[in-house]
Every structure is written in C-alpha cells, then in structure tokens.
Amino acid sequence: MGTPVRTSGAAAVARGLRQALGIALVGLAVGLACWPLNAIDRVQDALIGQMPGFGPSRWTGLPLALALAPIAVVPLLLLLQAGALRRSAGSGLPQLVQALEQPEHRNQQLAAAPTAGRLLLWSLASLVLLPIGREGPAAQLGAAIAHGLGRRRLSPDLLAAAAGAGLAGAFNTPLMGVIFVAEELTRRFQARLIWPALLMAGLAAEVGGLGGQPLFALGIHDTPVLEWEQALWALPIGLGAGLVGGLMARLLLLGSGRLLPLARRRPIITGVVVGAALALLTLISGGINCGDGETLLRQMLTQAEQVRSTAIEPGSWTSWTPTVAVRLIGPVLALSSGIPGGLIDPAFALGGSFGGGVLQLAGGPAWLGVLLGMAGGLAGATQLPVMSLAFAVRIAGAQQLLPGLLLASLFGAVAGRWLMPVPVYRALEHLGSQQKSSSMSVLKPENS
C-alpha cells in the first residue's frame, strides 16, 4: 500500500516542478521582451530633457522638430490603425480584459501580429513624446508571450499572471504587477493565482532591471514627517488628486466614445487635429506635457528637495495650475484616439503636479504633496488603491511614507469612483465591444 502513495507523491512533485519551470521560463521571456520598451522609454526621457521646460534649450532645432512632430506622426498612426494595423489599435488593456473574459477572442487579441503592431505604434508615439504611458502594451505583451509559449492551452489565471509580469518587467515593480493581476484582471486574491504571478513577476522584474530599468525610478525619498502629519495632508491631497485622476478617466472614456469612430472613418483629418492640439500644448507648456510624466515628476521632486534643504520658495511652483491642465488634456487627447499606451504614468504625473502645487500654495512641504498626489491621482484614475500604493512606494522608494500613501490611495480611489462608477479599463473594454457591435450591425445587410 505504501509504494503507490510514494509514486503518486513523486509524480505530483514532478508535475509541480515542471509547472514551476514553465512559469519561470515565461517570466524570463517576458522580462527580456521588455528590454526594447524600456530602452525606448530611456530615449524618450533623454529627448524630453531637451525641451525648454526642462533645461536651457530654446525652440530651435531638435526641440522644435519634436514639438511639431505630432502634426505629421499622429495622422500616420491613426491611418495605420484604420488600415494595416487595425487589430493593434487601443491601449492593450481593454483588449487583454476581453481576451481573459471571452476565450473566443483570445487568439485574435493575443496573436503575434497585433502584439507587434501595437508595440510599433506605441514606439513611434513615444519617440515623438506623446503623453502616454506603457502599461497597456507591456501587459498585453506579457500575456501574448505566455499565450504563444503555452501553445494556447494556458488558463486565464496564468495569462493574467503573465500580463502582470509584463508590468513588472516594464516598471521593475514585481509586487505592483502581482497586485494588478489580483485587483484588476482577476479580482481574486488566491494562492493558486498569487504564487505563479509572484514567480513570473519576480523574474520578469529582475531581467527587466538587467536591461537598465532602475530600481527606484524617481530616487529614494526619506521623510521626517510623522504619521499624524502624513494623515493630515493625505486627506485633502488624496481626495483632490483622486478627483483629477477620476476626471482624467472620465474624459478618456467620453473622448474615446467620440474620437475613436472619427479616427476610424477619417484618420488623416482626425490625426492632424489631434496632432496639432498636442503640438500646441507642447509649445505653450515648454514641453511639460511631453512623455509619460516621469521626467516631470523627477524634476518636481528635485526642486522640492532643494527647497527643503535651502528653505527657498521656488516661484515656478505658483504656476502649478497650467501644469495640471496640460498633464490632463494631453494624455486624454492621445489615448482617446486609440493610440496604444497607458494611463498609469500620466495619472501619476497628474496627481503629483496637483499635490505638489496645492501644498506649496498651502505653505506645506511640496515634495510631500508630490508623493501623496502621485498615489491619489493613480488610485483615482484606476480605482486600484492597493496597486497604487505598491507602485508609489516602489517607484519613489518612499517606505517611510507608507501611512500617508496608504490613506492617499484610499481617499483617491473613493474620490475617483464619484466620477467613474465603473473602473476605467472595464469601461473602455465595454465601450470597445459596443462600438464593434455597432459597426458590425451597420455593415450587416438588411433582410429582404
């Protein structure tokens, strides 16, 4: 009687090891695949540094060419999305949600061709400094790699874990990737989901870090602020940043409902209008609206740290309202037209600029407002408070601010829900399904 038990136990261990090895290989592959995305992100940061808003440059040469580039590039992107790369339109996350919840669409959404097309569109958009993030293409890339390596037999949970690994590899944030899987993609915290996600995300982040993705993208920010003071500032900053983040999500949904059909029917005209609007925002703001927002956050935190050490009030902080405005309008315009990208970095920058400006005007520590605002803005835009907390702690190395970031994320998510009852990624997936059904009903011939 004992031998069969030992044999069965050994077989179970062997199956577990094979499964773990397969999951590990997916994590390694996803991390490697994120290297080009991270390299393009670094090039984008270098180009943004040439803008007048971030240095001594003037509107000549390269800065001027980059400012005007969207007028030509956005029509090209929309033309490709309406034609040869039709299946690659959209950020990637709504399409991923559809693939996870509707298996019949999995081959279409996670195939190699639309994945490569989405990465191409995102790369072109990023190199001309459009104000978009990268979580959409990164998450979809992770799931597509797992879909291909698994020979289309993987469960939705493992595909979702691979999507989280894509986020981990792109941002060097393994815990954030795992939480995103549980909080948004599957909405379940279960051991059978968490451990594969941890293994995939951990390896993907490690490999992504070897490709140059920094451990703390915005540096390490220690704080002497006590917990009660963090809580005091987290309430107004979290609620305010959550509202502007929720407004971004709301405008993105409304804008997508209007712009996406126009972009499909008249890609060139729509692209010229959107590109000209983005170019105008760049010229007005000195390039503050350009890119995913990490460069702006890094500059704001550097200035705020200098103020904290020298006790000198920076006059530039009094102009925070225009910064918030351009960081709100730019991403909404770009993403509403269906250009692949993401909302995480833009919402982070929006909330950070809001929080820093408010605390400067209130006579408080602006650097604290930036950090609390980042968490509140992201939570308000996505309604994912736990993910927002993990991302804020990781990207800014602000472990001592955990109490304040926790409250800011919570208040931000509550405020965001006032404006967006349905989380933005789910709302965009539903909108895309509605528009597709409407398009098919228009093309369907009437019965005689």
Dihedral sign from CA coordinates of 437, 439, 442, 444: negative
Nearest CA to 341 out of 78, 185, 121 is that of: 121
Q: Which amino acid appears at position 48 of this protein? A: I
Q: Supply angle C-alpha 408, 38, 75, rounded to 5.
A: 90
Distance CA 117, CA 110 (A): 11
Residue with tokens 């597709």, as numbered in its chain: 436
pLDDT of residue 181: 94
CA distance 338 to 413: 25
**What are the tens digits of pLDDT across the range 86-99?**
999 989 899 999 89
- DSSP assignment letter at 445: P
- Where do the H-state alpha helices sit in 311-423? 320-336, 344-361, 366-382, 385-396, 402-419
**The pair of three-digit structure tokens given for residue 340, joined into one six-digit string:** 């692949």
pLDDT confidence of residue 1: 43
**Encoding tokens for residue 322?**
């225009």
Q: Which pLDDT does position 151 carry in this prediction?
A: 58
Please list the ranges in the chain whose pLDDT falls under 50. Answer: 1-3, 5, 309-317, 440-448
Determine the pLDDT at residue 308: 57
Instruction: State the pLDDT at residue 310.
Output: 41
What are the residues whose beta carbons fall under 8 Å from the beta carbon of 431, sequence distance 6 or more?
A: 94, 253, 256, 257
Decide if 444 contacts 110 (C-beta within 8 A): no
Question: Element (H or E) spanning 87, and its range?
Answer: none
Whole-prediction pTM = 0.91
CB 344 within 8 A of CB 135: yes
- Tally DSSP H helices, then E strands, for the chain: 19, 0
Residue 440's pLDDT is 41
Residue 319, token pair as written in the block: 């102009």
Classify residue 401 by its DSSP letter: G
**Whole-angstrom distance, CA of residue 177 vs CA of residue 154:** 19
Nearest C-alpha neighbor of 135 from the set 122, 154, 152: 122
**Secondary structure of residue 294 in the 3-state scheme:** helix
C-beta of residue 135 within 8 angstroms of C-beta of residue 93: yes
Answer left, alpha or beta for residue 364, where phi above 0 means left and psi between -120 and 50 means alpha: beta
pLDDT of residue 334: 96
Tokens of 63: 């800065």
Q: Which domains does the chain have, with CATH numbers?
A: 21-210 (1.10.3080.10), 227-429 (1.10.3080.10)
Residue burial 1-37, b: 16+ Cβ < 10 Å; e: rest = eeeeeeeeeeeeeeeeeeeeebbeebbbbbbbbbbeb
**DSSP class per residue in 96-139:** HHHHHH-GGGHHHHHSHHHHHHHHHHHHHHHHTT-S--SHHHHH
Provide the phi-psi class of 286: left if phi over 0, else alpha when psi is between -120 and 50, else beta: left
Cβ proximity of 57 and 233 under 8 Å: no
